[in-house]
Structure 1
């Protein structure tokens, strides 16, 4: 595993999150790829511990990681029988199987197969395309290669259960986060939020300092049904950064996920 270098830029963005009570994210803070999703799919009422662990404690946990230079290989497996389950945003649910989560009741107790959500399953497919020669990994390890954040930090099991006004306020408040140098310097950014960009007046070009490519967006979206890949670069003539705006990745076709991986793969080979 690559060594994590906790930079001064990361410290600055961490301080910003602490001062403004903003969710920062999860995964490798040195990653070349940033994925921004809609919001965490957590029911705060039914799963308060889950929400506290993943969202409320996020900044505090990152402060601990920063102060102790926490490394990926130091995070214990979530599934190891001999270890205490301790969530860490650097490598959450380490050891999770690369299969879709299934739950069932046995003798009144809920058990699961150690799998993951459809969103994380698709994040892993992209990671496998880029970092594992397109071979399916047996476990979820995209956290080693990507950093994940959310456009909105209001949380519910489904997006429509969050009041539009709350989403709007949260997204507006979080824009200051994505304007920082830290978030603007990822070579590849995937904004997988669907029509949140339109619905909540998010100007990706201004926010991330990129320019929309009509031609490449049309080429890469061709043949997709009710799905899209919008391509942006920091410079059309000499691009050093790629930004993809696309559908939220929980309920999308394999074709879309594969095309996103292909676009990123080509850019990595040419630019990174």
Structure 2
């Protein structure tokens, strides 16, 4: 397992950093008293399913999202794709909040501690498709990520596999070939803008996130350089045009090549952002040529 990931997990001190964050935001009361001492994810789930959230507490409930969320996929990959935020309503889907945010660092710590054995976790962050078993539509973010990943590696299996049930995969998948994470902490169904809080900024500056050959910030306008420079301060960006879409709109991206990593800023990779598949392929091929 990646040594920088092991170091990152060690620094989180068994969710101590997360608990301090919850205390700071005065939202730890949502958790059962013994939650962070429980040894397995099933025990955490059993405790979590007993919580009650009142309508007037929805705003505070969103604050329990974990700023130390690491991500999904292969931590040894060359490609890191960073989205804007997780796209679900936490109040409507508290189980997703548990599995995909709150418990993410706990899941990775158990994978490392148990040498890959999954007996103490329910959700495997190396392959989240197991828990979203149906195929993804062409406009789904994971589908767009898969097209980019195929083009970057010069393969054709990731996008095809994304259309299938996860256990029908043949060849490499998105989560075999890439690692994904998010810039914002709080999940949101619709675009909520960029909100890089201090805890998340410091976390994303960890050496683990600095070892990927290519980092794609799929976070909105390519001019959002100042946000990215809070994490990659030495990056110097140039604009590139991948083609046109809509009514004479240019599909532009910003790319930094002056550091040990290739850093990209582009619009969110989803159908709603108007991405043509050919432009995603062009981006992936350009990044492959740069590495």
Q: Same fold (TM over 0.5)?
A: yes
CA displacement, residues 36-63 of structure 1 (integer Å, 9 cap, x when unaligned): 1001011111111111111111111111
Q: CA deviation at 1:135?
A: 5.5
Task: Give the corresponding residue for 1:59.
Answer: 105
Q: CA deviation at 1:15?
A: 3.6
Distance 1:20 1:10 in 2: 16
Task: Give the corresponding residue for 2:2.
Answer: 6
137 and 38 in structure 1: CA distance in 2 versus 1, 3 angstrom threshold: closer
Which of residues 189, 198, 201 is equivalent to 1:172?
198
List aligned pairs for 1:45-194, cutoff 5 A.
45-70=91-116, 86-94=122-130, 96=133, 99-100=136-137, 118-131=140-153, 133-134=155-156, 137-140=159-162, 141-160=173-192, 168=195, 170-194=196-220
Does the Cα contact within 8 Å between 1:129 and 1:135 map onto a contact in 2?
A: no
Distance 2:205 2:17 in 1: 14
Gaps of 5+ in 2: 19-67, 163-172
Q: CA deviation at 1:197?
A: 7.0
Does the Cα contact within 8 Å between 1:210 and 1:232 map onto a contact in 2?
A: no
Distance 1:146 1:254 in 2: 18
- Aligned-partner SS, 2:160: coil
Q: CA deviation at 1:206?
A: 5.0
61 and 131 in structure 1: CA distance in 2 versus 1, 3 angstrom threshold: same
- Aligned-partner SS, 2:128: coil
Distance 1:187 1:253 in 2: 25
Does the Cα contact within 8 Å between 1:37 and 1:192 map onto a contact in 2?
A: yes
Matched, 1:230 2:254: yes
Task: Give the corresponding residue for 1:109.
Answer: none
Does the Cα contact within 8 Å between 1:210 and 1:233 map onto a contact in 2?
A: no
Corresponding residue pairs, total: 222
Which of residues 257, 260, 268 is equivalent to 2:280?
257
Q: CA deviation at 1:138?
A: 3.1
Deviates more, 1:131-140 or 1:54-63: 131-140
- Aligned-partner SS, 1:138: helix
Deviates more, 1:137-146 or 1:120-129: 137-146
RMSD after superposition? 2.9
